[in-house]
Amino acid sequence: MTLRITVDIFSGRPNPTVELDGKKARDFVQRAKPAKALKRGAMPSPEYRLGYRGLIVEQIRAPIRALPRTFRIAAGAVYGPELAHTIADPELEEFFAGPQGPAAKIKVLPDFSRFLTRQLRQLKEFDEDFERHREHWPHRPRCLCAPLYEPAWWNDGGQKQWHNNCYNYASNHRTDTFRLTPGGGQPGAASGAMYTALTCAAVGPAAMSDGLIANPAAHNRCPKEGHLVALVIAPGIDFHWYRKGRNGLWTHKPGSTPVTNIDNSGHLIPDPRTANRGMYTNFCTFMTVMHGHIKIA
């Protein structure tokens, strides 16, 4: 038998492929055979993600009947027509990506094997957290003017992620200045009125000088125009901002780390006043961001 295996990983470039014949191909399909049906709510075939999305396996000669002609293996599961099951060997992708596996022959990047191993790990983490972070559809937008939750856009592992902080994210204003320029991503710096203490009384007015509007009476309700943000303080240590999204839930971007929709207890955030905020114990106020009205250094 012969298999053509495509590593579904790139977006712009063509995906790399390898072919397996004979015993190697037979071993591979044995290890890929379906074991148990996936539970309800488990991660569906991840072909919509950026990054590693699985191995597309085509049986191009002498196929076995236990598997379709073309199927996908991703995060230890097999997907195909009427197929969403765990596989006989959940370590199959690790073997494929490892130094002894077929991916070692792929030369599209220096050390593709290691790159793929890392990507595999990320998909497994995504799979493990899938149910917890799953959007439940259909849902009605609760805040029509609020920005979308687009973690993949911000979490690029590069310029956008590293050089924008919680203030950039909450105000939905990308400057790519955080950690790069003095005052980058700091409330008040753009208007020459940067905060001088890490208190609600200092950071709030600094943000207002950048164009944010105090809205203490918002009580977690969306404004008719613009979107709602919330300021919290770790007294004397740091400030932090959240933003309310279109689905009514809050999200945030802690410093240079990825955007997230969970709090320090791993829960979604219906109200930042009651979220687990770690050291950011002081809830200061809600504020409104009018789109296009603010400036950030």
Partner 1 sequence: MSRARPCTASVLLYSGRPDPQWQVPAAAARDLRQLWQQLQDTKTSPPRPPPLGYRGCTLDCGEGARWFAYAGVVAMDDICRLDPDRSFERRLLKSAPPGLIPPASLAGC
Residues lying near partner 1 in the complex (CB under 8 A) are found at 114, 117-118, 121, 125, 165-167, 178-179, 184-187, 203, 234, 236-241, 252-257, 260, 262-266, 276-280
Q: In the β-sheet with 227-234, what is the strand arrangement from edge to edge?
A: 213-214, 282-289, 227-234, 238-244, 250-252
Q: How far is the CB of 98 from partner 1 (least distance, A)?
A: 11
Report the residue number, 9 or 269, with the smaller CB distance to partner 1: 269
Residue 107's CB is within 10 A of a number of other CB atoms, namely 9
Report the residue number, 159 or 276, with the smaller CB distance to partner 1: 276
Q: In the β-sheet with 55-61, what is the strand arrangement from edge to edge?
A: 17-21, 2-7, 55-61, 70-74, 77-80, 83-87, 34-37
Greatest C-alpha distance within the chain: 73
Report the residue number, 79 or 178, with the smaller CB distance to partner 1: 178
Helix/strand/coil for 18: strand
Q: Rounded CA gap, 254 and 224, in Å?
A: 27
Q: How far is the CB of 294 from partner 1 (least distance, A)?
A: 16
User: Which neighbouring-strand residues pair with 72?
Assistant: 56, 79
Q: How far is the CB of 21 from partner 1 (least distance, A)?
A: 30
Q: How far is the CB of 296 from partner 1 (least distance, A)?
A: 12
Report the residue number, 34 or 272, with the smaller CB distance to partner 1: 272
Report the residue number, 227 or 240, with the smaller CB distance to partner 1: 240
User: Which neighbouring-strand residues pair with 56?
Assistant: 6, 72
Q: How far is the CB of 166 from partner 1 (least distance, A)?
A: 5
